[in-house]
Amino acid sequence: MTMDKAYDVVIIGGGPAGLTAGLYATRAGLKTLLIEKGVIGGQIANAELVENYPGFPDGISGFELGQLMHQQAMRYGLETIGAEVVALEPGGKTRLVRTSDGEYVARAVIIAGGSELSKLGIPREERLTGKGVSYCATCDGPLFKDKTVAVVGGGDAAITEALVLAKLCSKIFVIHRRNQLRASRILQERAFAEPRIEFIWDTVVDEIIGDERLEALKTRNVKTGEVSTLNVSAVFIYIGFSPNTGYLKGLVPLDSAGLVITNERMETTTPGIFACGDIRHNSAKQAITAAGDGATAAMATERFVREQG
Amino acid sequence: MAKPFDVSDDKFDEEVLRANSPVLVDFWAPWCGPCQPMGAIVKELADEYGDRMKFAKLNVDGNPKIASKYGIQGIPTLLVFKDGKPMRQIIGLRPKAELKKELDQLLG
């Protein structure tokens, strides 16, 4: 192992939480590495427009917001690699982070891995991903211009993406298992006013139909039990998020949903391991609260590293 | 240093299908968030594998013919062509290490 793979802090995850932690840690003079397995910005990078991050009165694209946060942290020396963490070993004075692209030693680790969009968990979902099944309307929506598509879900992400698709597709069915939306009021009002969006209430998707590409969805009304076939060219799935904490089992306390339990300083009960952002139990799951968590975590980490000497 | 080149609907036949070495084509678009880091990885792969194969980028926005011919319905998607035929399709952003394994396997 070469010395240049040793850091004061390794941050796992490059969303608003991890990037803000990186900004604070580097400004505190800590040698800091950020590991991101996907896109800098994390979940927010997929949002076409972020309207609730203060400081951007006209809104900002989620991808650009992530890039700007990254640039700001890099100004102070944040290093970044693209890799996936496969294991974390707590150890005594240092912690070992194993990744798909080598091993890194850190005095402290900040877990900011956020969450991924949940899958429906039904047959052909995985096989037809990228063949009509999508988790990113901003990416794949334009490939279904003037087509009929479906969105599954009723939260902010589902409705935001349905509104993105309304600018491109001829018809958008929003399939939701309840009879009212969870999304914020302003998004609901926009969606109800959009003539291309039609809501299918109290309904779940049981089956994805198609061999080479998605052709239709088999849906079921949960109140009446009525089963229908809905012909669509694409389905965009936004039924919630699952935390990326598989490799943390047995290492730090997790709640029943797999989220990391911390105190208000973002400390886990395992010394030298901190967690912040959406991956944390009780997180408000907003870019701005994740950023706040990141700052708190970096400050607690700085104190831990200095006390360890 | 080999770099990925931009390929269009019109030039695809000549520059990819009739190329004398395998060609990895990165289907992308400017609106797509995950396409950006994928593009950065493809650039690095071009640098490392450029002596054994070619790397091309096809912007699906403006080149719909090829994208629809190969059934591209999600981006980023990578397609590796050998002797004019698609040999391997990789959908969605993947870590670089995983892509290197794929290429090592393909190149034998």
Same domain, A146 and A233: yes
DSSP of chain A: --GGGEEEEEEE--SHHHHHHHHHHHHTT--EEEEESS-TTGGGGG-S-B-SSTT-TT-B-HHHHHHHHHHHHHTTT-EEEE--EEEEE--SS-EEEEETTEEEEEEEEEE---EEEPP---TTTTTTBTTTEES-HHHHGGGGTTSEEEEE--SHHHHHHHHHHHTT-SEEEEE-SSSS--S-HHHHHHHHT-TTEEEE-SEEEEEEE-SSS--EEEEEETTT--EEEEE-SEEEE-S-EEES-GGGTTTS-B-TTSPBP--TTSB-SSTTEEE-GGGBTT----HHHHHHHHHHHHHHHHHHHHHH-
What is the average pLDDT value for chain A, to the nearest integer? 94
**Total number of domains in chain A:** 2
Quote the pLDDT of residue A4.
56
Residue B34 touches partner A, C-beta closer than 8 Å: yes
- B32 is a catalytic site residue: yes
Q: Which residue has the tokens 């020396």?
A: A77
Boundary (domain end) residue, out of A237, A269, A284:
A237
Q: How far is CA A242 from CA A86, B32, B59, in A?
A: 17, 22, 32
Q: What is the tens place of the pLDDT at every residue in A175-186?
A: 999 999 999 999
Residue A29 touches partner B, C-beta closer than 8 Å: no
Same domain, A260 and A290: yes
A45 vs B55: CA distance, rounded Å: 26
Domain ranges within chain B, ordered by starting residue: 5-100
From B36, B73, B76, residue closest to A131, measured CB to CB: B73
Marked catalytic residue, from B2, B17, B29, B32: B32
From A62, A101, A144, residue closest to B96, measured CB to CB: A101
A172 vs A191: CA distance, rounded Å: 10
Distance from chain centroid for Cα A96: 24
Domain-located, residue A30: yes
Same domain, A302 and A248: yes
Residue B13 touches partner A, C-beta closer than 8 Å: no
Q: Which residues contact B100 (CB under 8 A, 6 or more apart)?
A: B45, B48
Across the interface, whether the CB atoms of B75 and A213 are under 8 A apart is answered no
- B60 is a catalytic site residue: no
Expressed in angstroms, the distance from the first to the final Cα of chain B is 22
Q: Which of B89, B59, B91, B58 is nearest to B74 (CA)?
A: B91
Across the interface, whether the CB atoms of B74 and A213 are under 8 A apart is answered no
For A288-306, letters b (16+ CB in 10 Å) and e give ebbbbbbbbbbbbbbebbe
Boundary (domain end) residue, out of A209, A237, A265:
A237
Residue A136 touches partner B, C-beta closer than 8 Å: yes
Domain-located, residue A125: no
Quote the pLDDT of residue B33.
78
Residue A63 touches partner B, C-beta closer than 8 Å: yes
Other Cβ atoms closer than 10 A to B48: 12
What is the average pLDDT value for chain B, to the nearest integer? 92
Question: Domain holding A226: CATH number?
Answer: 3.50.50.60
Residue B91 touches partner A, C-beta closer than 8 Å: yes
Domain-located, residue A123: no
Residue A2 has pLDDT above 50, yes or no: no
Min mean pLDDT across A7-21, A71-85, A218-232, A239-253 is at A239-253
Across the interface, whether the CB atoms of A139 and B36 are under 8 A apart is answered no
Across the interface, whether the CB atoms of A63 and B36 are under 8 A apart is answered yes
Across the interface, whether the CB atoms of A39 and B29 are under 8 A apart is answered no
A153 vs A181: CA distance, rounded Å: 8
Same domain, A13 and A110: yes
From A82, A138, A140, residue closest to B73, measured CB to CB: A140
Distance from CA of A39 to the nearest CA of B (A): 6
Across the interface, whether the CB atoms of B61 and A131 are under 8 A apart is answered no
**A213: which chain B residues are within 8 Å (Cβ-Cβ)?**
71, 73
Residue B29 touches partner A, C-beta closer than 8 Å: yes
Same domain, A208 and A277: no
Domain-located, residue A121: no
Residue B105's SS3 state is helix
Boundary (domain end) residue, out of A180, A208, A237:
A237
Q: What is the tens place of the pLDDT at every residue in A30-89?
A: 999 999 988 899 988 878 789 899 999 999 988 889 999 999 999 999 999 988 999 999
Min mean pLDDT across A45-54, A116-125, B16-25 is at A45-54
The fold of the B5-100 domain, in CATH, is: Glutaredoxin (3.40.30)
From B93, B96, B97, residue closest to A39, measured CB to CB: B93
Domain-located, residue A124: no
- Write the ipTM: 0.76
Residue B48's SS3 state is helix
For the residues A1-16, what does the mean pLDDT come to?
Answer: 84
Residue A1 has pLDDT above 50, yes or no: no
Residue A160 touches partner B, C-beta closer than 8 Å: no
**A37: which chain B residues are within 8 Å (Cβ-Cβ)?**
95
Across the interface, whether the CB atoms of A139 and B75 are under 8 A apart is answered yes
Query: Residue A32: which domain range?
Result: 3-116+241-308
Across the interface, whether the CB atoms of B74 and A37 are under 8 A apart is answered no
Residue A41 touches partner B, C-beta closer than 8 Å: yes
Quote the pLDDT of residue B36.
83
Same domain, A13 and A158: no
Same domain, A84 and A44: yes
Domain-located, residue A128: no
Residue A203 has pLDDT above 60, yes or no: yes
Residue B84's SS3 state is coil
